[in-house]
Structure 1
Amino acid sequence: MSDLQRAWAKSKLGLAPEPFEELDEAEEDQVPELPEGLPEGLDDDSSSASSVSSTGTIIPTPSQKLFARPQGVARGRTLEQIPWTTYFERELFLKSDTNPEVTYHVYLNSPVDKGPLYVMHHGAGSSGLSFALVGSEIRKRLPNAGILAVDCRGHGSTTAPDGAALDLRLDTLSSDLFAMVEATKKQMSWPELPPIVLVGHSLGGAVVTDLAMSGKLGNSVLAYAVLDVVEGSAMDALQSMQTYLSTRPGGFATVESGIDWHIRTRTIRNSVSARASVPALLVWDESKDVSRPWRWRTNLAATQPFWEDWFVGLSKKFLGARGGKLLLLAGTDRLDTELTIGQMQGKYALQVFPDAGHFIHEDKPEQTAISLVDFYRRNDRSALVLPPKVSELLRQGKKV
């Protein structure tokens, strides 16, 4: 009998109803599962400002109450940072002969046997750690897969001289991504590149599409996926970008307050992902405001001269490059005319996550991972079974 039924029955019998126990907001939310082997003390109790993004099914055991909270999840909200080592086996600092002045930084989980390598490029102002959770979810479903999450120049721990740090032309970023893939191959002593699935979010979507279109990686590229960016809506959004940037706080008193801001504003709707990715977005700098010394690592306003260059022609390149194509969006209203026609012609796969915000892979890491794993399997050449050639049948004496 439920509490409501019990209270109704007692009122009919003239008994005083038992008071209902009120649950605070943190008690109502269920968090996404952290990866196995998470260090003690890194549990969370609220996956987002919206409980819709964290609903799940709990299967009770005989020793549990039907609605018991998952074991191992700390009560109360925590904003404690989650280190990158929770999700990646190593970080690499790489040099390239083509750009010797830049020290590239990447996070890597190596592929096993003939497993694919997901090469992941973040959006403007973000970092490779925005793919921490989705990379972990991919490997749960495809254990032999590798994850290469990069920091582009001017972001994360990639360093470049002052004059080159914000050279964010699309050609430069595309060349950088190619250099990072090649340098990783050299550093890890891979005899050849594994099958590659390029994945890019926002600006990163433009970069991976440009690299796929260039053909520099040859037949290594099986497919590419673009997360929540299309040419038409991106160009429209640029008109209000400066207004958005002016509403952001200039800094934070602590890293934890920065994490909290991203969750409260629903910039990132998954608190576990925010705890993993936000720390890389901030850097200590007391020169401007001692009370808020944690400042944005990347000056997004200074990148304005490149905004149009990033997205002009994106739809045409996305449809024209070789390889499987996947577009993940937070809403169908983001489709422009060219992509709408391409979708009707079956030129690419489309999946929409209406409950996610712009950071689809952070808000919905499990669902995004399922899409990316299925996408790879549909394009895996090793799984293709081709019909026998006519010459082979004739050689075997069979009728054709």
Structure 2
Amino acid sequence: MSALGRDFFKAKLAKLPAMPPPPLGALPEELEDLDIDEDIPDAFDDNDDEHHDPPLDDSSSASSASSTSTIIAPPTSIPELGTVRRRNNLEPIPWTHHFSENLHLTPSTNPTSHFNAYYTPNSASGPLFVTHHGAGSSGLSFAVLASEIRKILPEAGILSFDARGHGGTSTANDQDFTLSTLSDDFYEAVQAAKEQLRWDTLPHIVIVGHSLGGAVVTDVAKRGLLGDKLLAYAVLDVVEGSAMDALQSMQSYLMTRPVGFSTLNQGIEWHVRSRTIRNGRSARVSVPALLYDYNSGGGGGVGSDTAAAAGANGRPWQWRTDLGRTQPFWEGWFIGLSKKFLEAKGGKLLILAGTDRLDKELTIGQMQGKYQLLVLPEVGHFVHEDAPEKTAVALVEFYKRNDRTAIVLPKKVWEM
């Protein structure tokens, strides 16, 4: 090639963009010493900037007066890797960014239980959303969702607590994960909040549960533990049929998880890179509550031998909850879930990551209009963390359709 030709192509190459960043599938160990300049695509947005999915179409059944409908939200477009080039940020985000208070609740009826909870108060006329996380998670799983709900409905309050054996909660027996015990805990946590915050009466409540939490809130609704203060309940990505099928591979999944992490940031990165949580902004606030530093002497659910071995290998950040120890309770969580979900009183909302998760009983119930179904495509199991904006829109609209306080009854004849 002539000198003139080489000069021409050099000028062209100088105008081309830089090489793309490392792939999302790279292992944390391969990335921990790198100065990563690429950011995770918007679907995994992990910075503090505002990021919103497009709102649900107002012409859809999401904004109708009907409380029994099926909604399939539009997919979120994901930009090509490398089109967004902000500095990667995996630093933890404190709970104070999403909640007003960190409560330590001790029920007067059960003083051996101490529930760690995150709380933002509701106004006098607003509802209280009470949440229950899934197995191995924590109340901070709902942190970003709580903020999104408040953006749409500022008068709403959120109470999100850690279940026994999770996060900062401690009880007399942190290894008792029977469904009835977890449902009793839910009720006791709400009553303890009423006592500690000195409410005259419970506010109108919408209960929301993810995975195991979905089984708990359904059981709470079926047993009528909250009485007429319960407006409605929502279940996130769990149904009996698919849950029972998934249990067969649960142990295999647990064996593939890292035993521990070298740093807390590496733990956050693993959750995003593995697509366990597909929203980095949520992972940065929720993941720190799942881990503890073994070298600092903090508590945790992993066996001491395993934790010591991991610490000796340079991975001191351990899982707080040993999910393997919950195996004896798995079937009890989900057997009969579909029947209870359809029979319990109150408005019903089921949010799934795909229609393939529906079992026969729920499919028939949906065809009969017994509950509202929302499908969020292109999200994982943690639907409320992966798509907090869309989930918040759905929950607020769901509350409004079931808000009995907005109903004005006509005066009786003798009152005219």
Query: Aligned with 2:310: secondary structure?
Result: coil
Q: 1:374 aligns with which of 397, 406, 409?
A: 397
Change (3 A) 1:252 1:319: same
Change (3 A) 1:172 1:54: farther
The one-letter code sitting in structure 2 at the alignment partner of 1:101 is T
Q: 1:225 aligns with which of 234, 238, 255?
A: 234
Unaligned ranges ≥5, structure 1: 1-10, 35-41, 57-67
The one-letter code sitting in structure 1 at the alignment partner of 2:240 is E
Scaled by the length of structure 2, the TM-score of the pair is 0.80
The corresponding residue for 1:272 is 281
- What is the CA distance between 1:98 and its match in structure 2? 3.4
2:344 aligned with 1:321: yes
Looking at structure 2, the residues matched to 191 and 135 of structure 1 have their Cα atoms a distance apart, in angstroms, of 24
Looking at structure 1, the residues matched to 327 and 41 of structure 2 have their Cα atoms a distance apart, in angstroms, of 38
The corresponding residue for 2:102 is 91
Q: 2:217 aligns with which of 196, 204, 208?
A: 208
Q: 2:208 aligns with which of 177, 199, 207?
A: 199
The one-letter code sitting in structure 1 at the alignment partner of 2:166 is H
- What is the CA distance between 1:124 and its match in structure 2? 0.1
- Give RMSD over aligned pairs: 2.5
The corresponding residue for 1:289 is 310
- 5 Å matches for 1:301-340? 301-340=324-363
Query: What do residues 85-142 of structure 1 show as CA deviations (whole Å, max 9, x unaligned)?
Result: 1111101111123332221111000101210000000000000000000000000000
Looking at structure 2, the residues matched to 130 and 353 of structure 1 have their Cα atoms a distance apart, in angstroms, of 18
Percent identity, aligned pairs only, is: 57
Highest RCO, 1 vs 2 (Cα 8 Å, sep ≥ 6): 2
2:191 aligned with 1:182: yes
The one-letter code sitting in structure 1 at the alignment partner of 2:315 is R
Deviates most, 92-101 or 231-240:
92-101
The corresponding residue for 1:245 is 254
The corresponding residue for 2:175 is 166
Looking at structure 1, the residues matched to 318 and 49 of structure 2 have their Cα atoms a distance apart, in angstroms, of 25
- 5 Å matches for 1:54-69? none
- What is the CA distance between 1:269 and its match in structure 2? 0.2
Does structure 2 conserve the Cα–Cα contact (< 8 Å) formed by 1:45 and 1:76?
no
Does structure 1 conserve the Cα–Cα contact (< 8 Å) formed by 2:45 and 2:280?
no
Query: Aligned with 1:113: secondary structure?
Result: coil
The one-letter code sitting in structure 2 at the alignment partner of 1:260 is E
The corresponding residue for 1:78 is 89
The one-letter code sitting in structure 2 at the alignment partner of 1:307 is W
Unaligned ranges ≥5, structure 2: 1-7, 22-37, 53-74, 296-307
- What is the CA distance between 1:45 and its match in structure 2? 11
Change (3 A) 1:130 1:54: farther
- What is the CA distance between 1:284 and its match in structure 2? 1.4
The one-letter code sitting in structure 1 at the alignment partner of 2:17 is E
Does structure 2 conserve the Cα–Cα contact (< 8 Å) formed by 1:137 and 1:366?
yes
- Matched residues, number: 352
- What is the CA distance between 1:172 and its match in structure 2? 0.3
Query: What do residues 147-167 of structure 1 show as CA deviations (whole Å, max 9, x unaligned)?
Result: 000100000100124xx1110
